[in-house]
């Protein structure tokens, strides 16, 4: 069926509501818009699906949320009667339609005979991941689009371990979803009926308290907080998201007395009206907080994204300038802090492991090596860190210490299997207090890390390619890079080509070695002849973007960043990106 036929089917279907039909009739004269909304189904990947809100198969709405839920129900039931009884935990963030989509999910699951646990209020990603494990659920669903702009929402599916579905399980869910027609095959019942049948349960606040209990156990230096609690001040902003309740609660629990909250952003506002995008990677998201910091003489600002799985921080440097730290810098600080703290207390395990993704800073590896701790690299996506954690728990062969991504996601502790902005915020705040007892700011601590391990610099640049044309451009770019690979960048030879899709590593002499230990992924890595500079090309898994990740190290931060800029400029010219 072509896109126009699908469009007409939505207009004439008895299932589609009047408001949706009105939205579609409004674009009747816009052929390009009709094509964009209906040329494909919204893709369901290993992390679920994410898209712009609206009517159409390539938009997120109650119809494809119901269809996805029907597929999840089939997946759960295929695992047996016990799995259906164990049920699915459903969480949702503050985005527009999140509560609606969560309720529709519960209606479909319970109609299929699968028990549903539906949170009564907004909850963060880590609380959902923890809750799945604590309740013994067979799966979980989180309605969120993380740090995307207000136009987006999403549907993430989790396995019984609390981690995002691994590829094999996701394939089963996708096959189940595709076995159902979006209108004819989807069944649902009212929530009241689901409750009467004993198929719908509302978790109580005791689950939230248990989550905070386990988060608190990850403190490294409780005494540092007590030492400075009376005078130390920090600013927190939830960026209109789910972090407000658990983050403020954990900071109060561990003894912080002067936490200033950005009130303008402490609201459940799905339009994120105080920011362009609720992304803690962007400094503009902290504009209000920075003004507060100047007025209140505050050295550190912490912000979490709408589903509280990412954390960004702003620190005051020696000149009084407020600087945003990258995810790589914050991650490196946390690795150094955790390993140092455990070593000082004599509890650093001999089999300890730090896990990072292939696009995340090599500074973490340098730090870990200095403490005799192993570093493992996984593909981009926290689900792969979660998989390793589950493997460690089963084989009992390693002790997980910390996992993180350059994209501002961190997890300390094994209570969850996804990024946790609550535990990360707690530890960043505690870390700032710890360095305060040493007469240092977080900025000075970062400079000390660079002096000790080398001046590592990284940069991630995204090139947006929206719509059908954009998808075709991205595919053509990756195809071209494989068929006609670049040979130089910034005057240096490319000496090593790693293709994570064909799982090969090739050198300039044509020698090819297999890449082992990682799943296939549409990612290309290029190592340059100076033996320290690299760049990686990867299409985003959640947005219509091509990303280039660059990294190097040098004898000064300025030299390292200058080298990255030269390589980036060359890549943009060679690849036709701007």
The residues carrying an active-site annotation are: 146
Angle subtended by helix axes 363-370 and 327-344, to nearest 10: 10
SS (H, E, C) 64-99: HHHHHHHHHHHHHHHCCHHHHHHCEEEEECCCCCHH
Q: How far apart are CA 43 and CA 46, in angstroms?
A: 10
Classify burial at 233, counting beta carbons within 10 Å of its beta carbon; exposed 0-12, middle 13-18, buried 19 or more.
Answer: middle
DSSP code of 466? -
Distances (CA, A) of 267 to 95, 122, 192, 566: 11, 12, 29, 42
Contact 7, 37 (CB under 8 A): yes
Provide the token pair at 287.
């504009």
Long-range contacts of 565-571 (CB under 8 A, 24+ apart): 565/459, 566/490, 566/491, 567/489, 567/490, 567/528, 567/533, 567/535, 568/459, 568/461, 568/535, 569/490, 570/488, 570/489, 570/490, 571/486, 571/489, 571/535
For the beta carbon of residue 170, count every other beta carbon within 10 angstroms: 20
Distances (CA, A) of 445 to 243, 318, 336, 452, 575: 26, 11, 10, 11, 38
Q: How far apart are CA 426 and CA 238, in angstroms?
A: 14
Q: Degrees (nearest 5) of the Cα angle 283, 576, 532?
A: 65
Q: How far apart are CA 145 and CA 51, in angstroms?
A: 8
DSSP code of 326? P
Q: How far apart are CA 46 and CA 132, in angstroms?
A: 18
Q: How far apart are CA 203 and CA 272, in angstroms?
A: 27
Contact 478, 539 (CB under 8 A): yes
Q: Which residues, in sequence order, are bridge partners of residue 550?
A: 459, 535
Which contiguous run of DSSP H or E holds residue 329?
A: helix 327-344
Q: What residues contact residue 482 under an 8 Å CB cut-off, 6+ apart?
A: 499, 524
């Amino acid at each position: 069926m072509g896109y126009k036929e699908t469009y007409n089917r939505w207009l004439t279907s008895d299932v589609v509501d009047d408001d949706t039909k009105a939205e579609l009739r409004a674009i009747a004269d816009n052929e390009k818009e009709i094509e964009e909304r209906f040329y494909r189904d919204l893709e369901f990947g290993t992390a679920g699906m994410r898209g712009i809100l609206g009517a159409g198969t390539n938009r997120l709405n109650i119809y494809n949320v119901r269809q996805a839920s029907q597929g999840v129900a089939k997946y759960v039931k295929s695992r047996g009667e016990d799995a259906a009884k164990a049920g699915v935990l459903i969480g949702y963030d503050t985005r527009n339609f999140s509560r609606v989509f969560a309720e529709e999910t519960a209606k479909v699951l319970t109609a299929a005979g699968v028990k549903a646990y539906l949170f009564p209020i907004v909850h963060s990603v880590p609380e959902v991941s923890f809750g799945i494990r604590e309740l013994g659920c067979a799966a979980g669903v989180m309605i969120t689009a993380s740090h995307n702009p207000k136009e987006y929402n999403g549907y993430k599916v989790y396995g019984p371990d609390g981690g995002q579905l691994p590829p094999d399980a996701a394939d089963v869910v996708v096959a189940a979803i595709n076995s159902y027609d979006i209108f004819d095959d989807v069944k649902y019942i009212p929530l009241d009926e689901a409750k009467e049948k004993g198929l719908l349960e509302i978790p109580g606040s005791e689950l939230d308290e248990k989550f905070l209990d386990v988060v608190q156990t990850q403190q490294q230096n409780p005494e540092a907080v007590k030492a400075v609690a009376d005078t130390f001040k920090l600013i927190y902003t939830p960026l209109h998201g789910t972090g407000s309740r658990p983050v403020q609660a954990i900071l109060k629990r561990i003894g912080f007395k002067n936490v200033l909250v950005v009130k303008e952003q402490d609201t459940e506002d799905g339009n994120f009206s105080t920011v362009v995008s609720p992304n803690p990677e962007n400094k503009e998201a902290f504009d209000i907080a920075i003004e507060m910091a100047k007025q209140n003489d505050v050295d550190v600002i912490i912000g979490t994204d709408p589903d509280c799985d990412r954390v960004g921080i702003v620190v005051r440097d020696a000149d009084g300038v407020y600087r945003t730290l990258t995810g790589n810098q914050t991650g490196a600080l946390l690795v150094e802090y955790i390993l140092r703290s455990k070593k000082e207390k004599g509890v650093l395990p001999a089999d300890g492991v730090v896990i990072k993704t292939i696009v995340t800073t090599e500074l973490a590896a340098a730090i870990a090596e200095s403490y005799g701790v192993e570093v493992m690299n996984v593909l981009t996506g926290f689900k792969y860190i979660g998989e390793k954690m589950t493997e460690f728990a089963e084989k009992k062969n390693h002790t997980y210490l910390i996992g993180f991504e350059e994209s501002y996601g961190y997890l300390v502790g094994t209570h969850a299997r996804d990024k946790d902005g609550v535990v990360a915020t707690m530890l960043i705040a505690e870390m700032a207090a710890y360095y305060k007892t040493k007469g240092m700011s977080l900025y000075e601590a970062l400079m000390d890390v660079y002096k000790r391990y080398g001046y590592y610099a990284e940069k991630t640049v995204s090139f947006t390619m929206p719509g059908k044309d954009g998808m075709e451009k991205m595919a053509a770019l990756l195809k071209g890079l494989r068929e006609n690979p670049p040979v130089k960048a910034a005057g240096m030879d490319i000496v090593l080509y790693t293709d994570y899709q064909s799982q090969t590593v090739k050198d300039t002499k044509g020698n090819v070695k297999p890449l082992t230990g990682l799943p296939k992924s549409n990612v290309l890595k290029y190592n340059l002849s100076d033996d320290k500079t690299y760049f990686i090309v990867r299409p985003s898994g959640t947005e219509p973007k091509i990303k280039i990740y660059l990294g190097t190290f040098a004898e000064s931060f300025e030299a390292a960043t200058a080298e990255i800029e030269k390589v980036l400029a060359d890549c943009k010219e060679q690849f036709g990106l701007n």
